[in-house]
A and B are shown apart, each in its own frame.
Chain A
Amino acid sequence: MNSVVKKLIEVAGRTPKTLVFPEGADERIPLAACEIAALGFVKPIVLGKREEIEAIVSREGKTLEGVCVIDPKESELLPGMAAEYAASRGVKEGIAKKLVSKPLAFGGMLVRMGHADGMVAGVASATSSVIQAASVTVELAEGISAPSSFFLMVMPEADGRVFVFADCGVNIQPTAQELAEIGVVAAANAKKLLGAEPVVAFLSLSTKGSAAHPDVDKVVEAVRIAREMAPELCLDGELQLDAAISPRVAEKKAPESPVKGAANVLVFPDLDSGNIGYKLTQYLGGAQAIGPIMQGFKKPVNDMSRGATVADVVAVAAVTALQAN
């Protein structure tokens, strides 16, 4: 386990949250839940049939101590959940019952109704299924029009800095409004995960009018909207990357900017630049990329890659628990 994940686990362990893992039929989930319960930083709820989950862990010589198992179809919570869902979405209770008895939606309803603080899914489900289930159960946060994602970029030890890069995984061509929302929500997550005050740079090919193009105008408009949404936040744009993270360059190119070359939250103008940016930092810069981590829901929901390992599930559980703080 690397030092950053250890640190996240240690911080999450100070106030252990309850997280639901809907994909109990996939053996990585019960095994990760055992490890999480043993480390004690999260109280895990695993969804699925108890005998199947027990069989998975006992094959590895483990027990379900500290792990809560719920079979959605047998759960006494189901009627209440179906009624709540039917009322909030305006669908028939029969349809609501069918829907919330599915693991992803049941997990989302546990979060919505306060039985869990967050959800970790995706090892056995498509990203679109996780996002759809979360959208109709946990729901998007107030003022947010679309879910987005970020990476924690941990620079090599000699550098020591940790950045939040957003959105590098979901929105291909965000509008100015969506870009502003991505920046504001990423800043809130940076505060929770880095334990530092966020300094947000909205990146562009231009610094403070050095180039004219509709793409630059979009970033300028996003900064205006973000300031309206979160007037207390230290944010600025449009800024080129060097003016965002180098105090020396910032002094020359954007001397009036409150960012002062000390940005720790980098908001990319579109998914092309975001995806390329995080991979350049990872592959050429030697940074460790933790994520993608989803954001924008009322309570944290994370979508893991289908190739995730047990260790990856443990790490994402720590991140999700901290997002829930």
Chain B
Amino acid sequence: MATTIERVKKVTAELLGLDAASIKDDARFIEDLGAKSVQTVELVAGFEEEFEIEMEEEDALAAKSVAKAAELIDACL
């Protein structure tokens, strides 16, 4: 079974049109992966759908990297 961080990378890769294998754990969504700021709300919705969770919007938007998002999701599971 894929780990949380692998699933975060899969969703991120799908939404941003990237190769999941090329995404590093500490990659930041906007600065390193080229997400536009408006895409961050779509990333949050993508994680909610993948993990079947509800995230607090402000906490979610404060998680700026793949690793931070995975940490926050683990806390929600």
Contacts and interface: CB of A to CB of B under 8 A. Distances in A.
A89 interface: yes
A95 B42 contact: yes
10 contacts: A89-B42, A98-B45, A99-B41, A99-B42, A99-B45, A102-B57, A126-B58, A128-B61, A132-B38, A136-B42
A325 interface: no
Contacts of B49: 92, 94-95, 97-98
Contacts of A136: 38, 41-42
Contacts of A97: 49
Interface residues of A, number: 19
Given A96-B45, A98-B49, A129-B41, 5 more contacts: A91-B42, A92-B14, A95-B49, A98-B48, A105-B41
Nearest to B15: A91
Interface residues of B, number: 14
A135 interface: yes
Interface string A278-301: 000000000000000000000000
Interface string B30-73: 00000001101110011011000000011001000000000000
B40 A132 contact: yes
A95 B57 CA distance: 15
Nearest to B52: A98
Interface of A: 89, 91-92, 94-99, 102, 105, 125-126, 128-129, 132-133, 135-136
A129 B45 contact: no
A133 B37 CA distance: 11
Given A91-B15, A95-B42, A99-B45, A132 B58 contact: no
B46 A133 contact: no
Contacts of A92: 14, 49
Nearest to B11: A95
Contacts of B45: 95-96, 98-99, 102
A97 B38 CA distance: 17
Interface in B1-50: 14-15, 37-38, 40-42, 45-46, 48-49
Q: Which of B38, B45, B48, B49 has the most CB of A within 10 A?
A: B45
Given A91-B15, A95-B49, A98-B49, A129 B42 contact: no
Contacts of A125: 57
Q: Which of B15, B40, B42 has the most CB of A within 10 A?
A: B42
A102 B40 CA distance: 14
A89 B49 CA distance: 17
Nearest to A91: B42
A92 B50 CA distance: 11
Nearest to A129: B57
Contacts of B38: 132, 135-136
A198 to B, nearest CB: 30
Enumerate the 7 nearest inter-chain pairs by beta-carbon distance, A residue then B residue, closest first. Answer: A99-B45, A98-B45, A135-B38, A94-B49, A98-B49, A98-B48, A95-B46
Contacts of B41: 99, 105, 129, 132-133, 136
Nearest to A101: B45
